Amino acid sequence: HIALKAMEMRRQGFFEPAMLPMSELEYGGIVARLRKLEQEFVVRKEAAKAPAGTE
């Protein structure tokens, strides 16, 4: 039953309960991919306003 529960958690996608801790993800190459993706995004200091007419 434990294996079935683990498979169900994995099917739920890429979020905490289905993931290993970041310290253990290093061996799967995900850390390098996350670092590469991190360079493609910018954290804004202010919340972006919605374009006119879309509110």
Q: What is the pLDDT of residue 41?
A: 87
Quote helix, strand, coil % in the chain, to nearest 5: 55, 0, 45
3-state class (DSSP) for residue 38: helix
Report whether pLDDT(55) > 80. no
- d(Cα 43, Cα 15) in Å, to the nearest integer? 21
Structure confidence at residue 15 (pLDDT): 61
pLDDT value for 19: 67
DSSP 41: -
Question: Residue 37: what residue type?
Answer: L
Model confidence pLDDT, tens digit, residues 14-42: 666 556 776 776 666 777 888 888 899 88
For residues 12 and 48, the model is more confident at 12
Residue boundaries of the structural domains of the chain: 2-38
Alpha-carbon distance 4 to 15, whole Å? 18
